Amino acid sequence: MKNGCRTVRVHMLLSEKEAQTIHKRMSECGITNQSAYLRKMGIDGYIIHVDMSDIRSLTKLLGICSKNLNQYVRRANETGSIYETDIEDLRERLREIQADVKTILKEYEKIPN
C-alpha cells in the first residue's frame, strides 16, 4: 500500500519500558520499521519470525547426497559394481539428515498456533 493511501494518524504514548520491549521484539523479528511492526501487530496481533538456517543446511546436505548418489550410479553403470564403503557413506549421510529433520520438526512443534 502506498503511503498516500494512509490518511488516518494514530498517536500513542509509551513508557520507556514499553518502548524498549517493542524495540526488542522488533529486533527479534528482524523488523526495523516501527510503523510497519505496529501496524502488523495491531491488525494481526502477532508476527512469527522463523529462522530458516537449519533448513538451508539440510538442503545443502540433501544436495551433497544427491550428487554422491548420482556418482555412485554412474560408476555402477560403467563398471558393473559399486563399493560397500560408498553405500555406507551414503547411509551415514542420510542418517544425519534424518536426525536433523527430527530436530527441526521438534523445534517447529514448539511454535504456538
The verdict on 61 and 97 lying in the same domain is: yes
The verdict on 63 and 101 lying in the same domain is: yes
End-to-end CA distance of the chain: 28
The verdict on 61 and 105 lying in the same domain is: yes
The verdict on 105 and 62 lying in the same domain is: yes
Is 69 among the domain residues? yes
Task: List pLDDT tens digits, range 28-58.
Answer: 888 899 998 998 888 888 767 777 787 888 8
What angle, 0 to 180 degrees and rounded to 10, lies between the N-to-C axes of helices 34-44 and 16-29? 90
Is 3 among the domain residues? no
Is 57 among the domain residues? yes
Low-confidence ranges of the chain (pLDDT < 70): 1-4, 47, 112-113
Is 79 among the domain residues? yes
Which of 63, 60, 59, 68 lies closest to 91, judged by CA?
Answer: 68
Is 4 among the domain residues? no
Provide the residue range defining the domain that includes 70: 53-109
State the amino acid at position 67 in one-letter form.
K
* Domain count of the fold of the chain: 2
